[in-house]
Amino acid sequence: MSQGQTGDAVKERPKVEKKEPTLYKVVLLNDDYTTMEFVIQILEGVFQRSPAEAYRIMMHVHLNGRGIAGVYPFEIAETKVDTVTSLAREAQFPLRATIEEA
């Protein structure tokens, strides 16, 4: 009885896990009080954006009400939101970030 012809043959290789993690968007929300400079600092410092990207994203949020700061696996997205929230609170700005499935 050769392998491959019966249902009880043992697989030669265990299945390799190739599953991608579900990704989540960290969305920055506009407000009237947080300074543009602070939002740029957040985008550079928390989301590793270049100065040019940070300026572009900040202006997008300012003009459109919301914009994507970055896309990450859930736990990382959650940590970014917590970091933004606590830095904003510390600086006494109302800046908010939320998570959405990408």
Q: Give the interface with ligand TYC as residue ranges (CB under 6 A).
A: 28-32, 34-36, 39, 58, 61-62, 95
**Considering the complex, what minimum distance in angstroms separates the CB of residue 66 from ligand TYC?**
8
Token pair, residue 22, equals 């579900």
On whether the CB atoms of residues 25 and 98 are closer than 8 A, the answer is: no
**Considering the complex, what minimum distance in angstroms separates the CB of residue 88 from ligand TYC?**
9
**Considering the complex, what minimum distance in angstroms separates the CB of residue 57 from ligand TYC?**
8
Concatenated DSSP letters for 2-71? Answer: -TTSSTTPPPSSPPPP-PPPPEEEEEEE--SSS-HHHHHHHHHHTT---HHHHHHHHHHHHHHSEEEEEE
- Which amino acid would we find at residue 15? K
Q: Which is nearer to ligand TYC, 9 or 71 (CB)?
A: 71
Q: Which is nearer to ligand TYC, 3 or 35 (CB)?
A: 35
Q: Which is nearer to ligand TYC, 12 or 32 (CB)?
A: 32
